[in-house]
Amino acid sequence: DDGIPVGSDEDEGVEVRQKVVQVDPKEQEDFDRELKALLQESLESRKSEVRTRSTLNMKVPMNVLEGSKDQRAGESESGEETMDEEGGNAGGGSKVRVKVLMKKGHKQQTRQMFIPGDCPLVQSTKEQEAAELEE
């Protein structure tokens, strides 16, 4: 290798005069119908299932609750990398770090993720916090 970085910055400035993508309305209609059918069918199949799932294990584990109040991307304590910026398709503006609660087998675990500040999921917690503050 001659040590030249591959796919470097110079490449960014390509301006392709692009044709405007036109979605065939017929195709879209057809697709929407199939999507709707799939959704409907999924819902129906679940409804007809017997509801025996009473064992709800939805408690947020304590360790997750510690020190996770509304941290903005970029000011992370551990110096870990923040979301890459160039994507620009996550809604723009600030990003909020959330913890996603998941199950691996029977074990609970969380993974960190960034979501846009204007995401409804964040809005609700913000409102909640604001309400708490007022009390």
Partner 1 sequence: EEPPGAGAGEDGYDYGKGDFVEHACRYCGIHSPACVARCNVPSCRKWFCNSRGNTSGSHLVNHLVRAKHKEVCLHKDSPLGETILECYNCGCRNVFLLGFISAKAENVVVLLCREPCLNVNALKDMNWDLSQWLPLIDDRCFLSWLVKVPSEQEQLRARQISAQQINKVEELWKTNPDASLEDLEKPGVDDEPQPVVLKYEDAYQYQNVFAPLIKLEADYDKMMKESQSKDSVTVRWDIGLNKKRVAYFVFPKEDNELRLVPGDELRLRYSGGTSHPAWQSVGHVIKLTAQEEVALELRASQGVPVELSHGFSVDFVWKSTSFDRMQGAMKTFAVDETSVSGYIYHHLLGHEVEHQIIRNTLPKRFGAPGLPELNASQVLAVKSVLQKPVSLIQGPPGTGKTVTSAAIVYHMAKQGQGQVLVCAPSNVAVDQLAEKISSTGLKVVRLCAKSREAVSSPVEHLTLHYQVRHLDTSEKSEMHKLQQLKDEQGELSSSDEKKYKALKRATEREILQSADVICCTCVGAGDPRLSNFRFRQVLIDESTQATEPECLIPLVLGVKQVVLVGDHCQLGPVIMCKKAARAGLAQSLFERLVILGVKPFRLQVQYRMHPCLSEFPSNCFYEGTLQNGVTVNERQSTGIDFPWPVPNRPMFFYVQMGVEEISASGTSYLNRTEAANVEKIVTTFLRSGVVPSQIGVITPYEGQRAYIVNYMSRNGSLRQQLYKEIEVASVDSFQGREKDYIILSCVRSNEHQGIGFLNDPRRLNVALTRARYGIVVLGNPKVLSKQPLWNSLLTHYKEHECLVEGPLNNLKQSMVQFQKPKKIYN
Cα–Cα distance, 18 to 38 (Å, whole number): 34
As a whole number of angstroms, the distance between CA 99 and CA 62 comes to 13
Residue 59 CB, shortest distance to partner 1, in Å, is: 7
Burial class of residue 135, CB neighbours in 10 A (0-12, 13-18, 19+):
exposed
118 binds partner 1 (CB under 8 A): no
The reply to whether 11 sits near partner 1 by the rule CB under 8 A is yes
Query: CB 133 → partner 1: shortest distance, Å?
Result: 12
Binding residues for partner 1 restricted to 19-38, rule: CB under 8 A: 21, 23-24, 27-28, 31-32, 34-35, 38
Helix (H, G, I), strand (E, B) or coil at 34: helix
* Residue 62 near partner 1 by CB under 8 A: no
